[in-house]
Structure 1
Amino acid sequence: MKIGWLALLLTAQCASAAEHGAAPFAPARLEALITDSRLDEISGIAASRLADAVYWVHNDAPRPASLHAINGRGERIAQLIVEGVRAVDWEDVASFVKDGKSWLLIGDVGDNAGTRKDYELILIEEPDLQKSGGETLSRKPEWRMRFRYPDGAHDCEAIAIDMKAHQVLLLSKRSSTPAVYALPLAANTEQMQVARKLTELRTLPQPTASERQARFPSARLGSLPTAMDVDVESRRAIVLTYRDIWVFTRLKSESWMQAFARAPERMPLPPMAQAEALAFDRTGESVLVSGEHLPAPLLRFDGNDNSDRGN
């Protein structure tokens, strides 16, 4: 089984992307296989800020609305029920530390048909699993933020936290050109918020005419963004598509608009059924990827860049 997987991985790593430099990460290695039947549609992943090698994941529209904690072996170790919430289309989760507490931000932002009038962000405090006791936990949201876009409905599967600017970044999926929007991280959650459009992401490669006619979704839809994360320093953003991870590095005194305008560095994925979940680990030095359909691989890309990213 491992030999076959490695052969596929080597094939993927040999794919040519001459117009994009290689990202400063080692090739993917298989950290674990997720086989728990309760985790058959993983759409988001975020590293715990309280423990190493613990990750929070979720399905598309969980019933009840809940997150699951897994360890580095892909084993489910806890369920966190979000009280008073009905999940419509959860697509991503992000973690961060603020005011000495660890937080999880859930994005109920999916909209395949483009018909939703508004969307929601849900903030909950991350529980300390070493102190909580028990496999099933529950939390009430710290706040819930309803929002809309300034230019109509958008399907979105990618959110991230920029702690330097105290804002939430959202990346649309099915737009003719993916666009990056922003919302304040601390806002008046009693009122409907309107996301601010920052820029269009024109630097992601688009499928060729022949690829658009291909049988396999990874060829036809390979450029669609399915997840995003920003490292703890707010210097590096990573964007997941069905075929690749794209790395955008922001230089000192540079805005995300400027960073997203440059051609990103590329990290090719090995073949996956549906890559949907992406996150930096707790240190920000490695990247984790998983997705839908069991058994779901938990891939790890370790950083190999010792340079000063702030130059």
Structure 2
Amino acid sequence: MKSNALLKPRSLFLGLFSVGYLFLSACQATSEATVPRWSEPVFAGIPDAGKLSELSGLTRSNHAEGVYWAINDGNNPAEIIAIDANAQTLGTFSAVGLRNIDWEDIASYTLSGKHYLAIADSGDNGGVRDELYIHIFEEPADAKRSGQIHPIKSIRFLWPDGARDAESLFASAKDRSFYLISKKRVPAELFALPFDAADGTKAVLVATLEGIAQPDAETMNNKGDYGRYRAQITAADLHPDNRTIAVLNYQEINFFTMPKKSNTVLKPASTLTLPWLPQAEGIAFSRDGKQLYVGSEQAPTPVIRYDIVQP
């Protein structure tokens, strides 16, 4: 989602980042020993604004540790961009035959020994789109090669009960399904769509995500766009262990346990409060699951990283 109201001068951001961002509202872990603790956020790097001017999705490579795939928001070129762990560009791949209507998130997964990328063209700020798409590609083995990338297929899907905005996507090879989370609805809704879904399939509601902190009336009234949007879901990723979902909004990361059945009510197992980071819209676990990266749609803004701290 684009919003000029959140744009800050780079110098101000870097000053705040270097002096004050390394405070963290500590991970509000539950009493369960299995819930990991995360470090304070650290600076990873600043993406090339010429390549990632509106980073709206981020995911890990399953070919190589330390490589990540990113996309820009809608009305930008239909490209998948490889970056390293310091947010530096490695390669750019043009998606043949596709248009970036409103690309919002990218996911990676491995199935039958092959690695894949999936892009959710599911943004709908106005709630008017009657068709959304998930574009599926085989992940390039060489992230530095650049060139063209051809989609294996595109799944045209529908919502079960009318239009809604969704800016998050993750994939579970275990369930052979894609998962999307509604952005503006409270509580947020988790939908599933099978990998082999037929054209025109309706996504299925599998869970609601309750317990995500919502802005109070003062914040809503006095913080402009940030106040209105700060609790809306902008990205998600599934931990490599297939058990934990990291769900991002502008103010925090909420961790949920992957549902085992449909019609489930999920509540956060733990929460991380973000430092000041305008329009946080990309989140990705590392391939080993020990690191978590967060990127912003406002350029130039750093990518930050959290590291697992063992109990």
Which of 104, 108, 122 is the aligned partner of 2:117? Answer: 104
148-157 or 196-205: which moved more?
196-205
CA distance in structure 1 between the partners assigned to 2:293 and 2:19 by the alignment? 20
The answer for the alignment partner of 2:148 in structure 1 is 138
2:219 is equivalent to residue 211 of structure 1? yes
Encode CA deviations 1:37-72: one digit per residue, 9 max, x unaligned: 221100000111111111111111254311111112
CA distance in structure 2 between the partners assigned to 1:213 and 1:4 by the alignment? 24
Deviation at 1:139, TM superposition (A): 1.8
Encode CA deviations 1:204-258: one digit per residue, 9 max, x unaligned: 111111111122433332111000011122100000000101111349xx44765
The answer for the alignment partner of 1:153 in structure 2 is 163
Cα RMSD of the aligned pairs, angstroms, is 2.5
2:134 is equivalent to residue 124 of structure 1? no
Unaligned runs of 5+ in 1: 307-311
Number of residue pairs matched by the alignment: 297
Label 1:199 to 1:18 Cα distance change in 2 as closer, same or farther (>3 A): closer
Q: Do 1:30 and 1:297's aligned partners in 2 also have CA atoms closer than 8 Å?
A: yes
2:286 is equivalent to residue 281 of structure 1? yes
CA distance in structure 1 between the partners assigned to 2:202 and 2:79 by the alignment? 26
The answer for the alignment partner of 1:271 in structure 2 is 276
CA distance in structure 2 between the partners assigned to 1:156 and 1:215 by the alignment? 23
The answer for the alignment partner of 1:291 in structure 2 is 296
CA distance in structure 2 between the partners assigned to 1:18 and 1:128 by the alignment? 37
Q: Do 2:25 and 2:272's aligned partners in 1 also have CA atoms closer than 8 Å?
A: no
Q: Which amino acid aligns with 1:211?
A: T
Which of 199, 202, 209 is the aligned partner of 2:207? Answer: 199
Structure 2 counterparts to residues 177-196 of structure 1, below 5 A: 177-188=187-198, 191-196=199-204
Identity %: 29
The answer for the alignment partner of 2:6 in structure 1 is none
CA distance in structure 2 between the partners assigned to 1:219 and 1:20 by the alignment? 31
260-269 or 193-202: which moved more?
260-269
Which of 20, 42, 47 is the aligned partner of 1:29? Answer: 42
CA distance in structure 2 between the partners assigned to 1:18 and 1:265 by the alignment? 5
Q: Which amino acid aligns with 2:41?
A: A
**SS of 1:278 mapped into structure 2:** strand
Encode CA deviations 1:175-213: one digit per residue, 9 max, x unaligned: 24321111002223xx21100011222221111111111
CA distance in structure 2 between the partners assigned to 1:250 and 1:199 by the alignment? 10
Encode CA deviations 1:104-157: one digit per residue, 9 max, x unaligned: 000000000000011000000111116xx74x3212111110000111001000
CA distance in structure 2 between the partners assigned to 1:16 and 1:46 by the alignment? 22
TM-score, normalised to structure 2, is 0.88
Q: Do 1:214 and 1:220's aligned partners in 2 also have CA atoms closer than 8 Å?
A: no
Which of 102, 105, 120 is the aligned partner of 1:92? Answer: 105
Q: Which amino acid aligns with 2:247?
A: V
Q: Which amino acid aligns with 1:9?
A: Y
Label 1:15 to 1:88 Cα distance change in 2 as closer, same or farther (>3 A): same
CA distance in structure 2 between the partners assigned to 1:288 and 1:182 by the alignment? 24
TM-score, normalised to structure 1, is 0.88
Which of 281, 302, 307 is the aligned partner of 1:302? Answer: 307
2:254 is equivalent to residue 246 of structure 1? yes
Q: Do 2:29 and 2:37's aligned partners in 1 also have CA atoms closer than 8 Å?
A: no
CA distance in structure 2 between the partners assigned to 1:153 and 1:290 by the alignment? 27
Label 1:208 to 1:264 Cα distance change in 2 as closer, same or farther (>3 A): farther
